[in-house]
Structure 1
Amino acid sequence: MSFKIAIIGAGSVGFTKKLFTDILCVPEFKGIEFALTDVSEHNLQMIKAILDRIVEANKLPTTVTATTDRRKALEGARYVISCVRVGGLEAYADDIRIPLKYGIDQCVGDTICAGGILYGQRNIPVILDFCKDIREVAETDAKFLNYANPMAMNTWAAIEYGKVDTVGLCHGVQHGAEQIAEVLGAKSPRELDYVCSGINHQTWFIELRLNGREIGKDELVAAFEAHPVYSRQEKLRIDVLKRFGVYSTESNGHLSEYLPWYRKRPDEITRWIDMSDWIHGETGGYLRYSTETRNWFETEYPQFLEAASKPIDPSKRSNEHASHILEALETNRVYRGHFNVKNDGVITNLPQDAIVESPGFVDRFGINMAAGITLPEACAATCISSINVQRMSVHAAISGDIDLLKLAVLHDPLVGAVSTPEEVWQMVDEMVVAQAAWLPQFAHAVPAAKERLSKSRVKTREWAGAAWRSVRSIEELRAEKAALKQAG
């Protein structure tokens, strides 16, 4: 087969390498073309060197090109994959730092909550630029695979306003299923059959069967509470399981910032999180992890380049959806997964315009979703709270309406549990001013926001959150990796 895949944000080096090797595990795809594009020429050249090394080591006819000219990369592409982070770590730091001044403690801050909403404001104008290029220069009916957060907002904008065939992809469902299979004693995750449905990062395992046997709430609670690691790391998720009756896909730390109950008081935060790894609830944990990962890659790049000389092992193909979707579309080998699409009847008790994450099947006819799923009422209620915020956030990003943006942030469940309207209004002004370089749609609102900030009497505080950790040095990371290798 011969076709072209464009990867936007290809400077996300580790993830791009994973997608690349996954796709080349499909025998029919050996001779395709990958076009890499990113705003960073430096990152592009690093990832191109790694991918070239993989192609050379495996004696493949695969073509890899790299350019900062996005439109050139998209010319003739049949598939476009996005893994962009608009504003990079600089803007992301403000997503975490500024809300902390107003008492809002986020672990990740990239989906909803104050940080996720502003992240969406930065991403959506760029997503629409991608869609314009796809419509104009890519293959007719090219498919846009969005991996970038905030998943629902980006996918909503691409479908509703970008008018491009778009699917949102995430790995939260697979990771949750692996946990469940482990606590139930399965020899392989493939022994677990499940239906998982909801919205991205608030998806719920509403049906579970292990080797054909139905698994109920009580058995699952007991299995998690008996697990020597998850019983400590996933305290919040287990509590939600007990109260809702179903397990959430999302990590302990991420889930804590989507709900208004567990992360609104500093003394309560430490009760529900675990500090053994950032993902279990650490304040700004993903920001720290991302910063350390970037620093580590820059320093240890020669090792990454050397590792690229190893043969591709199809048995190590990951469970990221992209390669499996492309394989199904191109070869008609059917693939079942969980995809982010416009609702349109997929989930009966969520708004029809929402972006939902739910089971579907892929073959040469496209992505075909299982329709008519009904969520438990508590799960639907939680999802609807976030959907309403997502809808307002998308509309604010499209219109540049700063008042609508403030209302979206005000209605976020965790923000509303922590902050007053006056605090929210000032916080949004401060975030828009700080991130003005990446928010062209709000350029007209920045002068007035600066004026309001100069006269504001709303008090803020210098606070690092309930569970902050500093970024570790390269030496500290090396020592930790060496200790883990010795112990393992």
Structure 2
Amino acid sequence: MSFKIAIIGAGSVGFTKKLFTDILCVPEFKDIEFALTDVSEHNLGMIKAILDRIVEANGLPTRVTATTDRRKAIEGARYIISCVRVGGLEAYADDIRIPLKYGIDQCVGDTICAGGILYGQRNIPVILDFCRDIREVAETNAKFLNYANPMAMNTWAAIEYGKVDTVGLCHGVQHGAEQIAAVLGAKSPRELDYVCSGINHQTWFIELRLNGREIGKDELIAAFEAHPVYSKQEKLRIDVLKRFGVYSTESNGHLSEYLPWYRKRPDEITRWIDMSDWIHGETGGYLRYSTETRNWFETEYPQFLEAASKPIDASKRSNEHASHILEALETNRVYRGHFNVKNNGVITNLPQDAVIESPGFVDRFGINMAAGITLPEACAATCMASINVQRMSVHAAISGDIDLLKLAVLHDPLVGAVSTPEEVWQMVDEMVVAQAQWLPQYAHAVPAAKERLSKSTVKTREWAGAARRNVRSIEELRAEKAALKQAG
């Protein structure tokens, strides 16, 4: 087979390498072309050198090109994969820093909450540019695979306004299933059969069977509470399991910022999180991790390049959906996964226009969703709160309506639990002004926002958050890795 895959945001080096090697684990795909594109020529050069080394080491005919001209990369592509973070770590830092001034403590801030909503405002205009290029120069009926957060908002915009065949992809379901299999004592996650449905980052394991035996709420709670690691790292997630009756896919830190109950007061935050790793609830944890990862990669690049000389091991193919979807579409080998698509009747008690995440099967006829799923009422209610925020956020990003943007932020569950309307109005003004270079649709609103900020009487505070850690230096990271290696 010979076709072209464009990867937008390919400068996300580690993830691009993973997608690349996964796809090349499919025997029929050796002769395809990868077109890499990114706004950073420096990052493009690094990832191209790594992928070229992989191709050379494995004696493959695979072609790899790299260009900062996105339209050229997309031209003639059958599949377009997006891994973009518009504004990079600079804008992301403001997604965390500014809400903290108003008492809003986020662990990740990339899905909803104040940070995730502003992230969507930056991404959606760019997503629509991608869609225009796909419509105009990609292969006819090309498929757009979106990995970028905020997943639901980006996918919603691409489908409703970009008019492109789009699917959103995430790995939260797989990771949650691995946890459940582990606490139940399974030898492999493959022993666990499940139905997981909801919206991205708020998906719920509504059916569980281990080797054909149904697993109930009480057994699952007992298994998690008895686990020596997860009982400490997933306290909030276990509490939600006890109250809702079903387990959430999302990590302790992520889940905490989608709900109005666990991060509303500093003392409550420290009660529910675990500081053994950023993902369990640390303030700005993913920002710290991303900064450290970027610094580590820049410094250790020669080692990454050297590692690319190893043969591809198909047994280590990851559970990221992209390669499996492409394999199913091109070879008709059926794949079952969990995909972000427009609802259209898939989940009976969520709105039809919402982007949901639910089970589906892929073959040469496309992605075929399992329809008619009904969520438990509490799960549906929690999803609905986020869906309403997502809908307003998408429409605000398209229209450039700053008042609608403020209403979207006001209705966010965690923001509403912490901040007053006056604080929300000022916070959004401050975020839009700080990120104006990435928010062209709000250019007309920036002067008035600046004027309001100059006259504001709403008090703020400089606050690092309830559980903030400093970014570690390269030397500290090296010492920590050496200690872990010695201990292991």
Work out whether the TM-score is over 0.5. yes
Q: What do residues 210-262 of structure 1 show as CA deviations (whole Å, max 9, x unaligned)?
A: 00000000000000000000000000000000000000000000000000000
Alignment of 1:20-419 (within 5 A): 20-419=20-419
Give how far 1:145 is off.
0.1
Tell me, what secondary structure is at the counterpart of 2:481?
helix
CA distance in 1: counterparts of 2:74 and 2:485, whole angstroms: 42
Structure-1-length-normalised TM-score: 1.00
478-487 vs 385-394, which moves further: 478-487
Give how far 1:30 is off.
0.3
Give how far 1:442 is off.
0.0
Give how far 1:142 is off.
0.1
CA distance in 2: counterparts of 1:314 and 1:18, whole angstroms: 12
Q: What do residues 247-279 of structure 1 show as CA deviations (whole Å, max 9, x unaligned)?
A: 000000000000000000000000000000000
Tell me, what secondary structure is at the counterpart of 1:437?
helix
Q: What do residues 424-448 of structure 1 show as CA deviations (whole Å, max 9, x unaligned)?
A: 0000000000000000000000000
Tell me, what secondary structure is at the counterpart of 2:126?
helix
Structure-2-length-normalised TM-score: 1.00
CA distance in 1: counterparts of 2:346 and 2:141, whole angstroms: 23
Tell me, what secondary structure is at the counterpart of 1:238?
helix
Q: What do residues 177-202 of structure 1 show as CA deviations (whole Å, max 9, x unaligned)?
A: 00000000000000000000000000
Q: What do residues 81-136 of structure 1 show as CA deviations (whole Å, max 9, x unaligned)?
A: 00000000000000000000000000000000000000000000000000000000
Tell me, what secondary structure is at the counterpart of 2:347?
coil
Tell me, what secondary structure is at the counterpart of 1:288?
helix
CA distance in 1: counterparts of 2:253 and 2:330, whole angstroms: 38
CA distance in 1: counterparts of 2:369 and 2:263, whole angstroms: 34
CA distance in 2: counterparts of 1:484 and 1:111, whole angstroms: 32
4+ runs of 1 displaced by more than 3 Å? none
Tell me, what secondary structure is at the counterpart of 1:236?
helix
CA distance in 2: counterparts of 1:484 and 1:155, whole angstroms: 39
CA distance in 2: counterparts of 1:364 and 1:487, whole angstroms: 48
CA distance in 2: counterparts of 1:329 and 1:483, whole angstroms: 45
CA distance in 2: counterparts of 1:271 and 1:150, whole angstroms: 27
Tell me, what secondary structure is at the counterpart of 2:276?
coil
CA distance in 2: counterparts of 1:302 and 1:421, whole angstroms: 51
Tell me, what secondary structure is at the counterpart of 2:48?
helix
CA distance in 2: counterparts of 1:176 and 1:382, whole angstroms: 18
Q: What do residues 370-413 of structure 1 show as CA deviations (whole Å, max 9, x unaligned)?
A: 00000000000000000000000000000000000000000000
CA distance in 1: counterparts of 2:423 and 2:214, whole angstroms: 48
CA distance in 2: counterparts of 1:247 and 1:261, whole angstroms: 17
CA distance in 2: counterparts of 1:306 and 1:455, whole angstroms: 56
Give how far 1:487 is off.
1.1
User: Which runs of 5 or more structure 1 residues have no equivalent in the other structure?
Assistant: none
Q: What do residues 331-385 of structure 1 show as CA deviations (whole Å, max 9, x unaligned)?
A: 0000000000000000000000000000000000000000000000000000000
Percent identity over the alignment is 95
How many residues end up aligned between the 2 structures?
A: 488
CA distance in 1: counterparts of 2:485 and 2:64, whole angstroms: 34
Tell me, what secondary structure is at the counterpart of 1:65?
strand
Give how far 1:459 is off.
0.1
Tell me, what secondary structure is at the counterpart of 1:31?
coil
Tell me, what secondary structure is at the counterpart of 1:208?
strand
CA distance in 2: counterparts of 1:145 and 1:340, whole angstroms: 10
CA distance in 1: counterparts of 2:481 and 2:275, whole angstroms: 17
CA distance in 1: counterparts of 2:467 and 2:450, whole angstroms: 31
Q: Show the counterpart of 1:482.
A: 482
CA distance in 2: counterparts of 1:479 and 1:267, whole angstroms: 32
Q: CA RMSD in A?
A: 0.2
Tell me, what secondary structure is at the counterpart of 1:102?
coil
CA distance in 2: counterparts of 1:135 and 1:318, whole angstroms: 30
Q: What do residues 440-471 of structure 1 show as CA deviations (whole Å, max 9, x unaligned)?
A: 00000000000000000000001000000000
CA distance in 2: counterparts of 1:470 and 1:428, whole angstroms: 26
Tell me, what secondary structure is at the counterpart of 2:104?
coil
Tell me, what secondary structure is at the counterpart of 1:291?
helix
Tell me, what secondary structure is at the counterpart of 1:425?
helix
Tell me, what secondary structure is at the counterpart of 1:144?
strand
Tell me, what secondary structure is at the counterpart of 1:52?
helix
Tell me, what secondary structure is at the counterpart of 1:326?
helix
Give how far 1:74 is off.
0.3
CA distance in 2: counterparts of 1:484 and 1:50, whole angstroms: 27
CA distance in 1: counterparts of 2:480 and 2:355, whole angstroms: 40
CA distance in 2: counterparts of 1:143 and 1:487, whole angstroms: 46
CA distance in 2: counterparts of 1:485 and 1:181, whole angstroms: 27
Q: What do residues 39-84 of structure 1 show as CA deviations (whole Å, max 9, x unaligned)?
A: 0000000000000000000000000000000000000000000000
CA distance in 2: counterparts of 1:484 and 1:194, whole angstroms: 34
Tell me, what secondary structure is at the counterpart of 1:20?
helix
CA distance in 2: counterparts of 1:405 and 1:62, whole angstroms: 45
Tell me, what secondary structure is at the counterpart of 2:125?
helix
Q: What do residues 295-354 of structure 1 show as CA deviations (whole Å, max 9, x unaligned)?
A: 000000000000000000000000000000000000000000000000000000000000
CA distance in 1: counterparts of 2:481 and 2:307, whole angstroms: 17
CA distance in 2: counterparts of 1:147 and 1:332, whole angstroms: 23
Give how far 1:149 is off.
0.0
CA distance in 1: counterparts of 2:115 and 2:199, whole angstroms: 18
